[in-house]
Structure 1
């Protein structure tokens, strides 16, 4: 999909850059594949704000996505490519034909790049290396670009699901597959884990410019005041004479280190990481 640039007919239009979605399906999603979605406003069951910067936004329906792709060796036809408000990537509606009850078996999958209406997709232990096909990581040729990668067999894809992201298979080792992530991290993944061939659709999502604050409000995002603009009673960065930088060590309103401080606590998969994304910072 290309980017849409607008003439500066108003301050909100000046600099506005959006994704051209003219090629997407313009109707409503399949009702059986949607669920109701309630907004929280960032509040918990007691009504206390636990996540700041969340409120409002357009009403949304959640589209149930098939992250597992466990319907093996059944050809599916892509009926349409749709917009999904719950994610940055586009989604594809796949028809696997009539089931035992005589009704069409439909499922949404994350649409990879270069997948179009009418294309055939299939999932199995080993399939052709074509965009949209899913297979076990251990059966993929080295160098394959994949997305929707499982971390545990049967759990469903967790890695590389956002717009434009992908993972590259770089090797095999004793029942494991070595992959390189977008962050630069290299890690082991079990050879029985599933992944889908291709990079995720909508790579231009990162090049958009919303143009006005209201467009963020439509997405359910509220503005956040900088800590340095507050008083000392409201934020650790607050106060001071004139304009200050907020001190030597940036912290959250509750005094926790932020802006680069590591917050990872689940170390159970550290043994699967070959090269950390922190070990060699990218240059450029």
Structure 2
């Protein structure tokens, strides 16, 4: 008799809807504009906040709106070492300081970066988890491509115009602290998705008896079935 395995059961039901009602918002880089392409734009870190369901803290950075007389607040993934009141510079001519956003092609080889764009203008897709970072390996001025080493260890060739944040994502060492009790794991995954608790397959003892009964369900002799059960349990029996 067949059984629907765990992976198949997870796909059943309605389409999964992420638990985003209590989250602070999407953490992305600025929309690329004239100021970033040809110079830089200055922002200031207003606050560093916790985002439920995310390991890394977020930074609220206020920029001057280039088209209207007002401020525009962006949510950045906080780099380790930034603080409230710090100025953040975004653009081609920004300095190479922690938290600034520059094109990868303008950074020297060996620079530690995070929140890297996979394609120009996608506002950051790679190396975004807490404590993660990528490393600039080399540049090719002829093809306008750069080679970076990702947190997984794999190396990827991206366009030199792709932007990235200088530094390491804050919140590193999060997985080094033991959870210790089930209550903390419950609250951790409640903010993420329904994937806890996860029972090990080897701990499912009843499954063995169920398999035997499914094989011998047509056997009329119940005594023979009991003898098989005793044999599995290590009790000596005579057939």
Assess same fold via TM > 0.5.
Answer: yes
2:153 alignment counterpart: 184
- Out of 187, 190, 201, the position equivalent to 2:170 is 201
SS at match of 2:175: helix
Q: Structure 1, residues 43-66: CA drift from partner, whole Å, max 9, x if none? A: 77xx72788xx99x9972242322
Q: Larger C-alpha radius of gyration, 1 or 2?
A: 2
Q: Report the secondary structure of 1:150's partner residue.
A: coil
Give the 3 Å change call, closer, same or farther, for CA 58–170 of structure 1 in structure 2: closer
| Separation in structure 2 between the aligned mates of residue 128 and residue 102 of structure 1, nearest angstrom | 26
Partner of 2:217: none
SS in 1 for 2:137: strand
CA contact (8 A) 1:77 1:96 kept: yes
List runs of 5+ in structure 2 lacking aligned partners. Answer: 1-8, 212-230, 234-239
- TM superposition score normalised by structure 2: 0.70
- Give, in angstroms, the shift of residue 112 of structure 1: 0.2
Aligned mates of 2:66, 2:159 — CA distance in 1: 31
User: Structure 2 CA distance, aligned partners of 1:205 and 1:160?
Assistant: 15
Q: 1:211 aligns with which of 180, 183, 190?
A: 180
Q: Give the aligned partner of residue 55 of structure 2.
A: 88
Deviation per CA, 1:58-87, whole angstroms, max 9, x where unpaired? 972242322355252220001111111131
- Structure 1, unpaired ranges of 5+: 1-41, 235-239, 243-284
Q: Which has the higher helix share?
A: 2
User: What is the DSSP-based 3-state SS (H/G/I as helix, E as strand, rest coil) of the residue aligned with 1:85?
Assistant: coil
Q: How much is the aligned-residue C-alpha RMSD, in angstroms? A: 3.0
Q: Which residue of 2 aligns with 1:154?
A: 121
The 1:50–1:94 alpha-carbon spacing in structure 2 relative to 1, beyond 3 Å, is closer
| Contact 1:99 1:105 (C-alpha < 8 Å) held by counterparts | no
- Aligned equivalent of 1:19: none
Across the two proteins, how many residue pairs are aligned to each other?
A: 191
Provide the residue aligned with 2:90 in structure 1: 123
Q: Residues 50-129 of structure 1: matches in 2 within 5 Å?
A: 60-68=22-30, 70=32, 72=36, 73-97=40-64, 100-129=67-96
Cα offset, 1:105, TM superposition: 1.2
Q: Which moved more, 1:72-81 or 1:219-228?
A: 219-228
Secondary structure of the corresponding residue to residue 215 of structure 1: helix
Q: Compute the TM-score of the two structures, normalised by the length of structure 1.
A: 0.60
Q: Distance in 2 between matches of 1:43 and 1:62?
A: 27
Aligned to 1:277: none
Q: Equivalent residue for 2:100?
A: 133
Query: Structure 1 residue 223 and structure 2 residue 197: aligned?
Result: yes
Question: Is residue 142 of structure 1 aligned with residue 109 of structure 2?
Answer: yes
Tell me the distance in 2 between the aligned counterparts of 1:210 and 1:87. Answer: 16
CA 1:217–1:49 in 2, change beyond 3 Å: closer, same or farther?
Answer: farther
CA contact (8 A) 1:167 1:182 kept: yes
